[in-house]
Structure 1
Amino acid sequence: MKIGVPIEIKNNENRVGMTPSGVFELTKRDHEVFVQKNAGFNSGFLDEDYIETGAKILDTIEEIYAIAEMIVKVKEPIEPEYKLIQPNQVVFTYFHFASSEALTNAMIESKSICIAYETVEDADGTLPLLIPMSEVAGRMSIQQGAKYLEKPIKGRGILLGGVPGVPPAKVLILGAGIVGYQAAKMAAGLGAHVVIMDINMKALRYVSDSMPNNVISEFSSEYNIRKHIKDADLIVGGVLIKGAKAPKLITRDMLKEMQPGTVMVDVAVDQGGCFETTKPTTHQDPTYIIDEVVHYTVANMPGAVPYTSTMALTNVTLPYVVKLANEGWEKACENNAPLEKGLNIVKGEIVYKEIAEAFDMEMA
């Protein structure tokens, strides 16, 4: 199979869809891999590294899409890429369709095969291709939240861990999944007082059993959220509903109950966000302020640490890429139930229920 790895053209997206190590695993199986010139540069991988493992370097993104039977990338295609995607071409990436009707319509029109990393699902309900980026984003949410709590950037002027004689910041985390757990772990390590909320009692029990004493678990309800936002310094939204839009757990009216300079980090922004006031931002212009509350809502947070993120992503995507290349998408999905759940749009038809429901569209 001919596999293409283009440069990511989304704002400040520095990751790349495949490492040289991944290329080697494909070329040794007699597949052809075409990598766009400098695609891996921002992740720390040179064209020479790819050439040494058997890749062919092409100059333009147009050449990559024109020659490849399967595109392997990181983020969803954006508008300049829509016209490059061909009928029957497999596109394997993060799509997050439920947050963009324009993208959904474009991929329907392309007649391509869209396999979404975020909906590949193991038998136990875990999302193996989402986990590593959720781990990165969860940890980054605390790094970024701590930074934006500083006064020069309109935060409350609070050091997350405090100092002797001065209490630490209060961190409220919505969601005790991968993002929330990693966020709590980072915040606790820095000495913050952490409350993590969820409706999943199994997840809350795990948090209680495994976290230090400065992390408190609490059942999530609107009443409890409203109680905690009044004195929270940093709020992290990490709620995921697989393949669907995130629920709006903090509404616009709640902002008036918060202290001026409170920071909100919405890690669920790719799925529409779990704050009503969320709108996607970029690493170039990451924050905005509403009612004196700082919002950090970058849609590709792991893109800021591309070496770590690319390595972690390829570790989990590569086995699926190899299956798709070896068997073709139809046979690979037929033989692999988790991969089959990654099918979102196939040759112009929606095949994933949550996407159809998000936009009231028909499903195949």
Structure 2
Amino acid sequence: MPPLVKELLFAACTPGLEPFVLGELETLGLIRLIEPESLETPTSEQSDLEESGGIPFSGTLEDIYRANLALRCASRILVRMPSFRAAAFPELRRKAAQLPWEGYFSRGHSAAFRVTCHKSRLYHGEAVAEHVAAAIQDRLGFPIPRTKWNEGATKDGLQLILIRLVHDTCTISVDASGPLLHRRGYRLATAKAPLRETLACGMLFASRWDKTAPLMDPFCGSGTLPIEAALWSRGIAPGHFRRFSFMNWPGFDPQKIQFLLKSLEKHPIGPPPMILASDRDKGAVRVARENAERCGMLDFIRFSERPISAIEAPKDPGWVVSNPPFGIRIGQRNDLRNLYAQLGKTLRAKCPGWKVTLLCLNQEWIRYAGLIFDSGIPVLHGGRRVRIFGTRV
């Protein structure tokens, strides 16, 4: 795409995180757009549940770079190509061939397609992908091999194309991110039921942590929450450690990325906040340390192996932000009830005046802590509907 031309873009995210993505876009100076009905976010039946929310906005090629590098809560950045009506396959191929594919493919590249069809005469997703692939070849004059999209094992030169047909209107989007943006590049090992980095940042934003007061996670698992807190507090861009699909586009300028990282990463002056991370699982703490070391944050986080009853809070009030185990992971309702009761008892005894943000399955479980929480922000975690609850001890 031409570097100075503004395109319709879309920051996909987990439903519930849209307010935080919008705030991040506004901080970057990017303008939200109101999409026509035919371009509205797909329903959960039509897409990956954890990518089915999002915010449309406009931006240039540089804005695509910045959004991928800087957004902490978005799942991927899409370029929306102009929509068109297509009620037959020849029409689909002819009109898709008029799109500017030369901005996204070079010889040797391959393509993966994700297709959804809803109330359209063209309803066979594989056939739709086949005709759009042929249209790309018609436009470019050389073949673009098709392959399957594997979220965890993408390769350079592989471009994901998303196609949506609704009431015979076709909307094609080019993925600018590659692997989902929660894959920061530092977490090579995980504990059980890992928390996505994007949701961890949503919890931090929801908590209104000021990035200077102490922050504690007594159920740190593989360290996602404390690591994301450390990166945020030190001004490190979430995309600092990874590659993106746009890096394969013709005309990509690597020096532009280094320039943007320097402008985005404003390292704060003054002492870093105290970040405490603990877990009773020795293996989880080991993994968390390794992940923190991989992104240079080990010196900014105090890890320890201990149960919730043994946490040690600093004198100055701060924030507890954590993802306690769910009942589905523990397996026993009594175990979960006792865990939340112990958590509440410990917080009242050791953290008076602290603010608390927890990710929990529902209000039934959170009430066992014996604290008065708000109604919570509904989000998705691992395909389950959960809530981000907040309170003050």
For the aligned pair, the TM-score class normalised by the smaller chain equals 0.3 to 0.5
Q: Which has the higher helix share?
A: 1
Q: TM-score, normalised by structure 1?
A: 0.36
Structure with bigger RCO (C-alpha 8 Å, 6+ apart): 1
TM-score of the superposition, structure 2-length normalised? 0.34
Who wins on radius of gyration, i.e. which is larger? Answer: 2
